Structure 1
Amino acid sequence: MSTNMLTIYGKNGSETPEPVAAQVTGSLPAWLQGTLIRNGPGLFSVGSSEYNHWFDGLSLIHSFTFCNGEVTYRSKFLKSETYKRNIKADRIAVSEFGTMIYPDPCKNIFSRTFTHLSNIIPDFTDNNLINIIRYGRDYYASSEVNYMNQIDPGTLETVGRINYRNHIALNLATAHPHYDEQGHTYNVGTALMGPGLPKYVVFKVPADAAVSEKGRDKPALSRVQKVGSIPLRSTLSPSYYHSFGMTENYIIFVEQPFKLDILTLATAYFRGVTWGSCLRFDKDDITLFHVINKKTGKVVKTRFYGDALVVFHHINAFEEDDHLVFDLITYKDSSLYDTFYLQNLRSSSLSESNMSFSPPTCQRFVLPLSAHKESPRGTNLVTLVDTTAQALVQEDGSVFCRPDVIFIGLELPGINYNFNAKKYRYFYGSRVEWSPHPNKIAKVDIVTREHIEWTQDNCFPSEPVFVASPGSVEEDDGVILSSVISPDPNISPFMLILNAKNFEEIARASIPADVHMDLHGLFIPAAAV
């Protein structure tokens, strides 16, 4: 690929604070009414200072509103405390994942050490650049730290900051929660400090969590409920995780050997290393699969495990004939993060001959809930006929899980969320072949193992989002939405609308404004905006 990836990933974005009308070609479905809100890094330098990593960039939120066959676009920087401090100082003043900042060079070494070791876990940035999530009727820009920033989904204004720790003892939490059919939100976080051993915590925020007190609305998070917890396998090395799986009755948590070194993290500032360098992959370790009952909070006692892997995104999970089936996008190592250092994106060595990149692989794991200590040793307990996944009972009664490979070369997966936690057939994602820079989107048929693609020369689509047709029964009855950008100045950025059944383009909306490459987002139906 000859394109300098900085023109896609590392260019400073700009705000379009007032809605602008897109030029629509083709025909938008009359039923498509709502707003797609997207989040991602959008500002990579402040004053003369620059970030080191793409995941460091300041959050730029943008929205595409579909109303009566028309599309409008707007974007605003998240006005986080981090953003405000940086802009006021006219330089990067707050450390991020791959950029460590020393805001007061006049402080001596002892003062800095005392400040950052007084708490074992440092106070992280609130630059919430990963996703848009919902708790109750509140919408938040979210990353993976204890802070979130509430936004107004209609205007994209930043409403204010919230701290998980004011409502539940968490240091970290995912930016990929799950929503059940009743509208309740489930999520997983890590509690590293406080009473009891460090643990992973499953929690729930009820759908009707809006609370008023003395005429003032309280955040939905104030009604948070702890579902259950899992002790860390290693107290000083908690697993990194970006998402988790959920079925009708269970939460599936993957404790992978991609770990956060707490001691390194606690001293990162003092030693002049980044937080990103505190993540380490142990290729000789195993991966544990924890299963938590959503209703009782109890952990299934069977020890399910597999080979070492790295996972960021779960696709879906469901229950079938006393088995838990869950699909992951996995990697053989943690090299993906290194690719997105801006100096690497500048490198001309990112070419087809660069095969060090570990391709994403969709793998299906199957956990037999009937497994117990007396299960026959050496037997495969998976009895489902439509998968080659295995669950082999070991001499100590644990179960080694061998996956079924479904597809290689797809990331940022999405599904028809009406089929979340249910048996499903299709998923969608960004097509990743020889490098981690997707220039296609694809639909994968899990049954036939076939796929179809959309691509256009010199165009880079974002994560595809499925929106179901009203009253639809068939799983792929709906449209795919993806914002597309190009380094070619003759190609305006556009919102792509595909027929989800055949991936044929039914419309596109050309945007007369700058649009940035993003990460994740949420479609909000018109009635909820």
Structure 2
Amino acid sequence: MADHRLGFRSFDEETDSVALEVVGEVPDWLSGTLYRNGPGRFEVDGRELSHWFDGFALLRRFEIREGELEYSSRFLDSDAYRAAQHGELRYGEFGTNPSWSVLDRLRNALGGTQTDNASITVRHRDGEHRAVTETVRDVAFDPGDLSVLGHRETQVPATGTIAHDHYDFVQEEWVSLGTRLGRKPGYVLYRDPDDGPVERIAHIERDEPAYVHSFALTDHYAVLTEHPFRTSSRRLLDSRPFAESFRWYPERDTRFLVVDRRDGEVVAEPVVPPVFTFHHVDAYERGDELFVDLVAFEDYSIVPALALANLRSRTPDVPAGELRRYRLDLDTERAEGRTLFEGPIEFPTTNYAEANLHPYRFCYGVGTDSGSFNDRLHKVDVEHESDREWAEKGIHPGEPLFVPRPGGDAEDDGVLLSVALDTDEERSCVLVLDAAEFEEIARAYLPHALPFDFHGTFYGEGRKPTPSMS
């Protein structure tokens, strides 16, 4: 019998418009296309890649119409993937480096030879579908056949960007964050309005920028959680992989950089004991206080724990993240945190269009029993600090993406979509859960087992795209 390790095997099939058999009933109102992104191949010319984040991007497309699902998959035809097809690891990935010269490492540190292996998520920009990662090189693709249309570089003075930007539905603009190395290192906050050019909001100089995967946004502020996992241009010149160029400083605090979105001023820098995070959940304002919810880890050890050697073990040792809320007082610049849900929880999602920038009630995420890997889903009621759980033996669900029911009144009136691995069947399936009742209402099996993915976006008819998370 297979186990979760099946989700970390390389995949070599591409599919085009395969009709899936649906068990149960998909709601008639659920109409649109779910795009998922994540790694699909983990070796180059017999050489194993080192980290889960390094695998070459495999786009997955699920069209949902009138209760039926149609599935396609295709490798992202990036420069990095084409080189790998010829047995060459040309670009440095998150945890794996090619054999570079000193000059190559210098160019990479300054952003000149960045990978376009855009395997983290899918975003919508300027009317295009784009695969993105943590470099400035987005890859546009055809939403129908998933073929590549070309590169789209972020027009900001940054070495790299985060994949988890935010959409402000009132201002009708995306807000995102980049990291700058080399001359004047630090962070670059910028906006990308629907009807105008990209505009820099702030450049915050830091000699040793932190690794930043996401950030928080409120009506008036952007909040960067600057944990003590830091790097420098000098360390990036070493022969080590990108992830290993960062160092954890346990004696340093985690700092919240609160930036006014209107003028770029850093208005507060409250600190808390050291904590690491990949993913923020939500943030909102209440008077002179900000509330920032995120998945917190006690230190950076989650980063090396996602190495393939660990994840491919029968009982991987993966640190547990908890859902934590920080209250930031802008007057006193003091911060305090409390646990909303002990977890383990990761890949947190909400009813994004309803909750983003505002107080919310429900957070959904993936959980893990001791000694296993992503074997359950959680629905956390943050108002009552309670949790509901969905689990089934042999099922390893991925990130749950919330899709609201048109015209629904309640925050949890909708469905959750999760691409899961069924180890008994040795193939993947799309789970459809009623979000309010937190019960499965349908599933559709794929003809094979996909590697575990990361994030995605749902494109509903007549609505703005729904990202899975901030």
Which category describes the TM-score, using the shorter chain as reference length?
Answer: over 0.9
Q: Point out the structure with max Rg over C-alpha.
A: 1
CA contact (8 A) 2:364 2:379 kept: yes
Report the 3-state secondary structure (helix = DSSP H, G, I; strand = E; otherwise coil) of the residue aligned with 2:234: helix
Secondary structure (helix, strand or coil) at the match of 1:32 reads coil
Cα pair 1:133 1:176 within 8 Å, conserved: no
Classify 1:227/1:94 alpha carbon distance in 2 versus 1 (closer, same or farther; 3 Å). closer
Q: Secondary structure at the match of 2:98?
A: coil
User: Aligned-pair distance for 1:115?
Assistant: 4.3
**In structure 1, what residue type is equivalent to 2:281?**
I
Instruction: Supply the distance in 2 between the matched residues of 1:445 and 1:349 (Cα, whole angstroms).
Output: 30
| Structure 1 vs Structure 2 CA RMSD | 2.0
Distance 1:192 1:454, change over 3 A: same
| Cα contact 1:310–1:334 (8 A) shared by 2 | yes
2:176 corresponds to 1:187: yes
User: Secondary structure at the residue paired with 2:278?
Assistant: strand
Which of residues 443, 449, 460 is equivalent to 2:379?
Answer: 443
User: 1:275 Cα deviation (Å)?
Assistant: 1.9
Structure 1: which 5+ residue stretches go unaligned? 104-111, 210-222, 373-398
CA deviation digits over 1:240-276, x for unaligned, max 9? 11000011121111111011243121122xxxx2222
Does the Cα contact within 8 Å between 1:336 and 1:436 map onto a contact in 2? no
Cα 1:450–1:343, aligned 2, differ >3 Å: closer, same or farther? same
Query: Which SS does the other structure have where 1:493 is aligned?
Result: strand
> How far apart, CA to CA, are the structure 2 residues paired with 1:114 and 1:18?
42
Q: Is the 8 Å Cα contact of residues 5 and 313 (structure 2) preserved in structure 1?
A: no
Alignment map for 1:170-319 (pairs within 5 Å) = 170-182=158-170, 183-194=172-183, 197-209=184-196, 223-232=197-206, 235=207, 237-268=208-239, 273-300=240-267, 302-319=268-285
* Counterpart selection for 1:28 from 22, 26, 29: 26
The residue number in structure 2 matching 1:406 is: 340
Match of 2:468 in 1: none
CA contact (8 A) 1:58 1:129 kept: yes
Equivalent of 2:151 in 157, 161, 182: 161
Match of 1:52 in 2: 50
1:283/1:309 contact within 8 Å kept: no
Q: How far is the alpha carbon of 1:98 from its aligned partner?
A: 1.8
Q: Using the TM superposition, give the Cα deviation of residue 476 of structure 1 relative to its aligned residue in structure 2, in angstroms.
A: 0.6
1:478-517 matches, within 5 Å, as 478-488=414-424, 490=425, 492-517=427-452
Spell out, residue by residue over 1:215-252, the C-alpha distance to the aligned partner (whole angstroms, 9 max, x if none): xxxxxxxx2111223221xx1x2111100001112111
SS of residue paired to 1:403: strand
- Letter of the 1:286 partner, please give it: D
CA contact (8 A) 1:443 1:453 kept: yes
Q: Select 1:100's aligned residue among 94, 97, 101.
A: 97
Could you tell me the TM-score, scaled by structure 2's length? 0.93
Partner of 2:398: 462
Measure the CA separation in 2 of the matches of 1:347 and 1:506: 32
Structure 2 residue identity aligned to 1:173: T
Deviations 1:446-487 (A, max 9, x none): 111111111111111110000001122211111111011123
* Residue 299 (structure 2) aligns with: 333
Give, in whole Å, the separation in 2 of the partners of 1:48 and 1:258.
Answer: 32
Q: Per the alignment, do residues 157 and 331 of structure 1 end up closer, same or farther by CA in structure 2, a change over 3 Å counting?
A: same
Contact 1:49 1:92 survives alignment (8 Å)? no
Structure 1's 118 and 467: CA in aligned 2 closer, same or farther, altered over 3 A? closer
Q: 1:434 aligns with which of 370, 373, 381?
A: 370
